[in-house]
Amino acid sequence: MKTSDRILQTIKRGGAITAKQLADQLDMTTMGARQHLQSLENEDLLRFEDVRVKIGRPTRYWSLTAKGHAQFSDHHGDLIVQLLDSVESVYGPSGVERILSDREQKTFHNYRVQLEPFASLQEKLAKLVALREADGYMAELLVTETGFLIIENHCPICKAASRTPSLCQSELSIFRELLSGLGDVKRVEHILQRHEHEYEHDDLRPYLHQNQAQNQDQNKNPDQAQKKRQRRCAYQVIPRI
């Protein structure tokens, strides 16, 4: 993988980052990291923001632009949206719902077959996350005090989901059905929602922000830190006893 691609992927997964933090993560010099970041800014893939700190000079944080986000696969999003529009035009809203229902059933069956060999909830979740990663969701599994978190840093069907929000509900329904009897699933972050989230369970906060926390300066303004939060999907899974 090219260095520029590694940088974009690192920022996509972890959110805004400094040149020093990037250098540490990718095992390069800080000067080299700055040069790569500047080059990506010139291509309109990255932007920066200088954030005031309590002591010393402002800290420069780099994040993806809209063009930078667009470098990650959206599975021909515009074409899918056009097809959904055409289906609705010819067959009405019920036609779209029938297509989405068929997709949901096929996706569920595919996942269920591949999760079937695994007995425990954690094993099934690990396999599910691997499947989602392969499907382009940049997924990861975190273990929390109350259970598990599935984090999806990218949505390869984002344009289609923006056009037809029931796609997102379909994803949640698949997870719930796959894990029925083993765990309760709740979506606690949604990539399509631009507002900040308030979590019902404070114990989730350190896990939801742990990779961002690695990219935070201790002297950074906490209000600015909130603005750096990454847009993504997150699902809380609480085991059934």
| Max Cα–Cα distance, the chain, nearest Å | 62
pLDDT at 124: 97
The verdict on 87 and 61 lying in the same domain is no
* Residues facing residue 51 across a β-bridge: 59
Backbone φ and ψ of 44, nearest 5°: 65, 30
The verdict on 81 and 48 lying in the same domain is no
Instruction: Enumerate residue ranges in the chain where pLDDT < 50.
Output: 195-202, 211-229
pLDDT at 157: 87
Residue 173 lies in a domain: yes
> Which tokens go with 226?
């909130």
Question: Rounded CA gap, 186 and 173, in Å?
Answer: 10
The verdict on 133 and 186 lying in the same domain is yes
The verdict on 16 and 53 lying in the same domain is yes
Query: Which of 70, 103, 121 is the last residue before a domain boundary?
Result: 70
pLDDT at 200: 43
Specify the DSSP class assigned to residue 59.
E
The verdict on 20 and 115 lying in the same domain is no
pLDDT at 122: 96
pTM higher than 0.85, yes or no? no
Residue 224 lies in a domain: no
The verdict on 40 and 141 lying in the same domain is no
> Which tokens go with 112?
């269920």
Query: Which of 39, 70, 101 is the last residue before a domain boundary?
Result: 70
Residue 90 lies in a domain: yes
Dihedral in degrees, nearest 10, Cα atoms 160, 207, 120, 174: -20
Residue 223 lies in a domain: no
The verdict on 235 and 131 lying in the same domain is yes
Dihedral in degrees, nearest 10, Cα atoms 205, 209, 211, 212: -150
Q: Hunting for tokens 């021909």 — which residue is that?
A: 76
pLDDT at 209: 53
The verdict on 17 and 94 lying in the same domain is no
Each residue's pLDDT tens digit, 109-137: 999 999 999 999 999 999 999 999 989 89
The verdict on 138 and 235 lying in the same domain is yes
Q: Which of 184, 190, 171 is nearest to 236 (CA)?
A: 184
The total number of structural domains in the chain stands at: 2
Residue 212 lies in a domain: no
Question: Rounded CA gap, 137 and 159, in Å?
Answer: 14
Residue 208 lies in a domain: no
Give me the CATH number covering residue 56: 1.10.10.10
Query: Which of 19, 44, 70 is the last residue before a domain boundary?
Result: 70
The verdict on 39 and 152 lying in the same domain is no
Question: Rounded CA gap, 215 and 24, in Å?
Answer: 11
The verdict on 99 and 54 lying in the same domain is no
The verdict on 64 and 93 lying in the same domain is no
Residue 205 lies in a domain: no
Question: Rounded CA gap, 24 and 240, in Å?
Answer: 40
Range(s) of the domain holding residue 66: 3-70
| CA distances from residue 126 to 130, 139, 149, 209 in whole angstroms, order as listed | 6, 10, 11, 20
Residue 211 lies in a domain: no
